[in-house]
Amino acid sequence: MDERLKEVYQKIYEGEAKAALRLKLFAKEADKEQLPQIAKLFRVISFSEEIHGERALRMLREIKDTEQNLKESFDSETAVAGWPMTSFSGSQRRSGTRLPPLSSPIQETLRRSTLPFIRRPWVT
Protein backbone atom coordinates (compact mmCIF):
# COMPACT_ATOMS: atom_id res chain seq x y z
CA MET A 1 0.00 0.00 0.00
CA ASP A 2 1.22 3.49 -0.85
CA GLU A 3 2.58 5.31 2.24
CA ARG A 4 0.30 8.34 1.77
CA LEU A 5 -2.75 6.11 1.52
CA LYS A 6 -1.61 4.18 4.58
CA GLU A 7 -1.32 7.46 6.52
CA VAL A 8 -4.84 8.45 5.46
CA TYR A 9 -6.30 5.13 6.61
CA GLN A 10 -4.39 5.38 9.89
CA LYS A 11 -5.80 8.86 10.54
CA ILE A 12 -9.30 7.67 9.64
CA TYR A 13 -8.97 4.73 12.04
CA GLU A 14 -7.67 6.93 14.87
CA GLY A 15 -10.41 9.52 14.37
CA GLU A 16 -13.18 6.94 14.22
CA ALA A 17 -11.88 5.07 17.27
CA LYS A 18 -11.69 8.28 19.30
CA ALA A 19 -15.16 9.33 18.18
CA ALA A 20 -16.64 5.92 19.08
CA LEU A 21 -15.17 6.03 22.58
CA ARG A 22 -16.21 9.63 23.13
CA LEU A 23 -19.78 8.84 22.04
CA LYS A 24 -19.94 5.82 24.36
CA LEU A 25 -18.94 8.05 27.24
CA PHE A 26 -21.57 10.61 26.18
CA ALA A 27 -24.13 7.78 26.27
CA LYS A 28 -23.11 6.84 29.81
CA GLU A 29 -23.52 10.45 30.87
CA ALA A 30 -26.96 10.65 29.24
CA ASP A 31 -27.93 7.46 31.12
CA LYS A 32 -26.84 9.06 34.40
CA GLU A 33 -28.99 12.08 33.56
CA GLN A 34 -31.91 9.71 32.86
CA LEU A 35 -32.06 10.55 29.15
CA PRO A 36 -32.32 7.03 27.68
CA GLN A 37 -33.31 8.09 24.15
CA ILE A 38 -30.32 10.41 23.85
CA ALA A 39 -28.08 7.69 25.30
CA LYS A 40 -29.40 5.31 22.66
CA LEU A 41 -28.71 7.86 19.94
CA PHE A 42 -25.10 8.25 21.12
CA ARG A 43 -24.67 4.45 21.14
CA VAL A 44 -26.03 4.08 17.61
CA ILE A 45 -23.73 6.79 16.29
CA SER A 46 -20.82 5.22 18.20
CA PHE A 47 -21.55 1.87 16.54
CA SER A 48 -21.49 3.58 13.16
CA GLU A 49 -18.10 5.11 13.95
CA GLU A 50 -16.82 1.65 14.96
CA ILE A 51 -17.85 0.30 11.54
CA HIS A 52 -15.92 3.08 9.81
CA GLY A 53 -12.88 2.44 12.00
CA GLU A 54 -13.06 -1.29 11.33
CA ARG A 55 -13.06 -0.69 7.58
CA ALA A 56 -9.96 1.48 7.85
CA LEU A 57 -8.24 -1.09 10.08
CA ARG A 58 -9.00 -3.86 7.60
CA MET A 59 -7.61 -1.75 4.76
CA LEU A 60 -4.42 -1.39 6.82
CA ARG A 61 -4.37 -5.20 7.14
CA GLU A 62 -4.12 -4.93 10.92
CA ILE A 63 -6.57 -7.79 11.56
CA LYS A 64 -4.79 -11.12 11.56
CA ASP A 65 -5.41 -14.58 13.00
CA THR A 66 -6.44 -14.74 16.67
CA GLU A 67 -3.05 -15.82 17.97
CA GLN A 68 -1.29 -12.90 16.26
CA ASN A 69 -4.08 -10.50 17.30
CA LEU A 70 -3.67 -11.56 20.95
CA LYS A 71 0.10 -11.18 20.83
CA GLU A 72 -0.08 -7.73 19.24
CA SER A 73 -2.83 -6.69 21.64
CA PHE A 74 -0.84 -7.66 24.72
CA ASP A 75 2.37 -6.14 23.34
CA SER A 76 0.53 -2.90 22.70
CA GLU A 77 -1.13 -2.87 26.13
CA THR A 78 2.18 -3.60 27.83
CA ALA A 79 3.84 -0.71 26.01
CA VAL A 80 0.97 1.70 26.69
CA ALA A 81 0.50 0.69 30.33
CA GLY A 82 4.11 1.50 31.20
CA TRP A 83 4.32 4.78 29.32
CA PRO A 84 2.34 7.19 31.53
CA MET A 85 3.94 6.07 34.75
CA THR A 86 7.49 6.32 33.47
CA SER A 87 6.85 9.58 31.62
CA PHE A 88 5.06 11.36 34.44
CA SER A 89 6.50 9.80 37.58
CA GLY A 90 9.06 12.55 38.09
CA SER A 91 6.57 15.36 37.49
CA GLN A 92 4.08 13.61 39.80
CA ARG A 93 6.57 13.58 42.64
CA ARG A 94 7.41 17.24 42.08
CA SER A 95 3.78 18.37 41.85
CA GLY A 96 2.35 15.96 44.42
CA THR A 97 -0.32 14.70 42.00
CA ARG A 98 -1.02 11.07 41.14
CA LEU A 99 -2.31 9.70 37.88
CA PRO A 100 -5.03 7.06 38.12
CA PRO A 101 -3.93 3.61 36.94
CA LEU A 102 -4.80 2.90 33.33
CA SER A 103 -5.21 -0.82 33.78
CA SER A 104 -6.85 -2.70 36.59
CA PRO A 105 -5.25 -5.53 38.57
CA ILE A 106 -7.76 -7.86 36.92
CA GLN A 107 -6.58 -6.83 33.45
CA GLU A 108 -2.96 -7.36 34.47
CA THR A 109 -3.74 -10.81 35.90
CA LEU A 110 -5.56 -11.81 32.71
CA ARG A 111 -2.71 -10.54 30.57
CA ARG A 112 -0.08 -12.46 32.53
CA SER A 113 -2.11 -15.67 32.72
CA THR A 114 -2.79 -15.63 28.98
CA LEU A 115 0.75 -14.92 27.75
CA PRO A 116 1.97 -18.54 28.04
CA PHE A 117 -0.83 -19.62 25.74
CA ILE A 118 0.05 -16.97 23.18
CA ARG A 119 3.66 -18.07 22.96
CA ARG A 120 2.48 -21.66 22.42
CA PRO A 121 5.75 -23.35 23.48
CA TRP A 122 4.44 -26.72 22.31
CA VAL A 123 4.50 -25.52 18.67
CA THR A 124 7.89 -25.67 16.99
**Whether residues 74 and 90 fall in one domain:** yes
Instruction: Note the pLDDT of residue 23.
Output: 97
**Whether residues 48 and 99 fall in one domain:** no
CB 78 within 8 A of CB 85: no
**Whether residues 28 and 40 fall in one domain:** yes
Instruction: Note the pLDDT of residue 71.
Output: 85
Instruction: Note the pLDDT of residue 103.
Output: 57
pLDDT tens profile 77-104:
777 666 554 555 555 556 666 555 555 6
Alpha helix locations (H) across 2-121?
3-32, 36-59, 66-95, 105-119
**Whether residues 89 and 39 fall in one domain:** no
Domains of the chain: total: 2
Determine the structural domain holding residue 42 and report its residue range: 1-63
Q: How far is CA 67 from CA 72, 74, 90, 115, in A?
A: 9, 11, 37, 11
**This prediction's pTM:** 0.64
pLDDT tens profile 15-60:
999 999 999 999 999 999 999 999 999 999 999 999 999 999 999 9
**Whether residues 35 and 51 fall in one domain:** yes
**Whether residues 6 and 22 fall in one domain:** yes
Q: How confident is the model at residue 12 (pLDDT cuts 50, 70, 90)?
A: very high
Give me the mean pLDDT over the 57-81 stretch: 85
